[in-house]
Amino acid sequence: MNHEPRQQPGNLGIDADALWSDILTTAQYGATAKGGIRRLALSEEDRQVRDWFVRTCTAFGATVHADSMGIQFARVPGTDDSLPPIAIGSHLDTQPTGGKFDGIIGVLGGIAVLRALHETGRKTRHPIEIVNWTNEEGSRFAPAMLCSGVFAKVFDEDYANSRADRDGIRFDTALRSIDAAGKEKCGEHPLAAYFELHIEQGPILEAEERVIGIVTGVQGMRWYEVTISGRDSHAGTTPMSMRNDALQAATRLMSSVQDIALNRAPNAVGTVGLVEVRPNSRNVVPGEVFFTVDFRDPQDGNVVAMENAFRDRAATLSREFDVSIGISEIWDSPAVHFDGGLVDSVARAARSLNFPAREIVSGAGHDAAYVARVAPTTMIFVPCAGGLSHNEAESASREDVAAGANVLLRAVLEADERLNA
């Protein structure tokens, strides 16, 4: 299906070919053999794509700087440069086996807007900024959206800097290693509004043959780290009745995550995504297991109820297997409702371009969820094949990505006229 904008001659639109070229170019930084991307936050591959971001944005007349958390801002002035900027952004870091579209199209869609303004000479009242948020994924430094969280004063810088990856490398050490930090203190940067373009990361738009998701908010989510401690012992000489087997308790507790989510609410989800067994030897009864849990639901009360059920199950298993179970909540992101005026701007932009659209709540976390605490915010979704994301096979069509970028452009231009008028 052709989703090129149905607009009158002379109306501003993005260059779909150039946007697609940018997607293919950035996919080279951290490219994997299976066609995906491994570009962890503050890695050498991240440094390379950050340098590309600077080169590309400055070619369109932007000045680029970073704040103390390494968040990059590419700014073009407005006709009234005293106004706070309208920002467009997302992230350039990926999962260990990530795809070409998650996060990246939000930054590249913003660059497409800059390109359209630059090449037509169109001036906005507000400055326009493209933002690359550091460590959105949380796959290297947990929790996710770490630096947009600092920006929104959910976390302080000391907390963020102390976060370490699985190799024990601290965030601040990694930040220095690629010389990514700037002088501006994170969070001391006013925004008039914030827009984020993203693939849906779910199957709804594709299933309903909708081109645009008008995102009204983000569901609530919590992350936990669980450590189960038993006792290492010989697999051949320790009777079954005398074992303190951490792994057997862990398998029962991990299985309960799915049961709890299935029985809580229609939209509830629960995931165990990372597991470590120690000492991880074939003839040793495991003495310790570490794993992570992710609970999500559009209603915060359901997330709390899932946590309570999980803790109750852990207490029961602790007694049954004679092991200790420690549960640490490391991240709590309550449900977010986006700015009604900006949501309406996205809806009007989609209608003006005749793109089939629907309202939708994001099941995934995004930097927009934190930015919404300090500035009017909204998001735009486009379909991805099979709803698949966080996977090297992640895919979206050129036409759908271009459609999302054209809706973004029109919504930003409307906001520029309406805000601070």
Q: Known binding site for Zn(2+): residues?
A: 91, 102, 137, 198, 390
The label of the residue with tokens 């450590």 reads 227
What is the DSSP-derived secondary structure letter of residue 125?
S
How buried is residue 304: exposed, middle or buried, by Cβ count under 10 Å (0-12/13-18/19+)?
middle
How buried is residue 249: exposed, middle or buried, by Cβ count under 10 Å (0-12/13-18/19+)?
buried
Helix (H, G, I), strand (E, B) or coil at 66: strand
Asked if 125 contacts 84 with a C-beta cutoff of 8 angstroms, the reply is no
CA 362, CA 419: separation in Å to the nearest integer?
Answer: 25
CA 61, CA 50: separation in Å to the nearest integer?
Answer: 17
CA 362, CA 364: separation in Å to the nearest integer?
Answer: 5
CA 277, CA 263: separation in Å to the nearest integer?
Answer: 28
Residues annotated within the binding site are: 91, 102, 137, 198, 390
User: At what angle are helices 104-120 and 16-26 packed, to 10 degrees?
Assistant: 140
The label of the residue with tokens 């373009």 reads 197
Distant-in-sequence, close-in-space partners of 334: CB < 8 Å, separation ≥ 6 = 220, 300
